[in-house]
Structure 1
Amino acid sequence: MTESFKLRIFTEPQQGASYDDLLRVAQATEAAGYDAFFRSDHYLKMGSVSGDPGPTDAWVTLGALARETSRVRLGTLMSAGTFRLPGPLAIAAAQVDQMSGGRVEFGLGSGWYEQEHAAYGIPFPALRERFDRYAEQLEIITGLWGTPAGETFDFAGRYYELSDSPALPKPVQSPRPPVLIGGGGKKRTPELAARFADEFNLPFVDVDTAAAQYERVDAACRAIGRDPGEIARSCALVLCVGKDEAEIARRAAAIGRDVAELRTNGLAGTPAEAVDKIGAWRERTGITRLYLQVLDLTDLGHIDLVAAEVARQLG
């Protein structure tokens, strides 16, 4: 059965957003009919914005939103493996899955933003060690979730060791919440995706770069005897859609971006332009999910416009 195409809202609250801001956007996302509300997992702003009022924690946010929404999927693009020990992270995500009635999607990456680690006293190992830890984290978290009730989980790795863990709590979703992996690494990233991912995501790249990386993931799947079709393909693009040129320009200015650049690198323009670009991505890459990066969290009309004028044209 062919999966229906899904539009998802993706926010970057480290750029300046409170929990109440995120709640408004999440509830607008649900009311407008989108499939999911996702947020980044960062503790420090990027670029020239102030970042006020300061960061919010991704999993605290998702736990709260789990009780304030009823339908949308909830997740991270991506939680940083450097931020949390894998055992407690498995507990937190499983708890949010319970709190939401089984709506969590679990995105995990190796961590990359060195400045935020320095700002909040988080260790930041070299890239090779981060990836080695990341691989162990994926094995531990999926192993804890997949341990049958009444049995225990043990793990002895280079960086983490678990002994006689009851592997509780269990998530609602069985066998586990979907695991999202992403990024442009040409060897280890596809290999980890082949082993652990239910979805592979590429943020803010061009269509040819994406197609080549999806093919690497497929090849990694075939190398271990996994059907590549088991992994959904997705991408993320910054959103700047307006009903006319004036509205497009206003929305671009609000996020400090150039309209022409956004038309090239994001999902920008009129609703008709957006539909055409999504169609080109689908035809070239086979994506079934698109994350719309919404940077102006005060502009709920933006979310409503895309739901009304773009989403309804996507089969």
Structure 2
Amino acid sequence: MSSFDRANEAVSFLTNGLPEGLRKPQVAIVCGSGLGGLAETVQSEPRAEFDYASIPHFPRSTVAGHAGKLVFGLLGQKIPAVLMVGRAHFYEGHSMEQVTFPIRVFKQLGVDTVVLTNAAGGLNSDYSVGDITLLNDHLFLAGLAGTHPLRGPNDEDFGVRFPPLSDAYDLELRRHVHRAWKEITTPQTNRKLHEGVYETRAESRMLRMMGADVVGMSTVPEIVVARHCGLRVLAMSLVTNNAVLAPVPRGDEELLQDKAAGELSALLEEGKAGHEEVLEAGRAAAVDMQISMEQKLTTITEIGGTNSGERLW
């Protein structure tokens, strides 16, 4: 069975369980680590939820902080939407095709814009924990090494063999987000909105030298497949920790020779962030991001569409 047929089977299952007004969502939002609270932007009625385990062919997430459910509802000015609360990752053992399968389901549901969020480590020294980075490009070292979501036979039902990625991050959507951000921020706002380059899992110092601003372990494969399907893409990273860029101490450094073993361990732990810390930072910032996301979506949808007369979502 092709990915196109599997996606249609999943869509058939979902639409059979959805009320009429939610069967054709216009926008899909992928909620990253600690950002499941974004699902609260959906109005309480009408609303429908599906566990990933119940959806044919849908990958299951095993990561803490990823609830593993699709939430359908209305956003902003009655915009039908679907939110993916938690994602599956390549590092969990899923194939690239499985990781990106939800994007193809969104395409077949009728979605034309996907908003991708993630928790990421900050590489740029100007970024603080809690800031939001609006992605405008990416480095994809795994893809260059052959681990690519479009590897294998091309499914022409979704897109061409080699989709261009020079326009992967929709410029008009990014412009609208900046405008919306200016409307909701005040002089007292500590959280900043940046634009930057994202990378998925590699040595942080090398990536910073190559121009990356934030680093994570997801998102880019979804972006590639979204563009392959012809979807518009808006992607944001919540900076939940500052990546350690300094080299590890050398064992022959004179200043270390008289330090106790416990002190040496503390040096190696400095700046280190575990998954729980990432989730905690995400929870602390999710409320603000939820409010800003809702207001951005409202502002964008009020604009009504593009200059060409097409709908924005």
TM-score > 0.5, shorter chain as reference:
no
Higher RCO structure, 1 or 2 (CA under 8 Å, sep 6+): 2
TM-score (norm. length: structure 1): 0.30
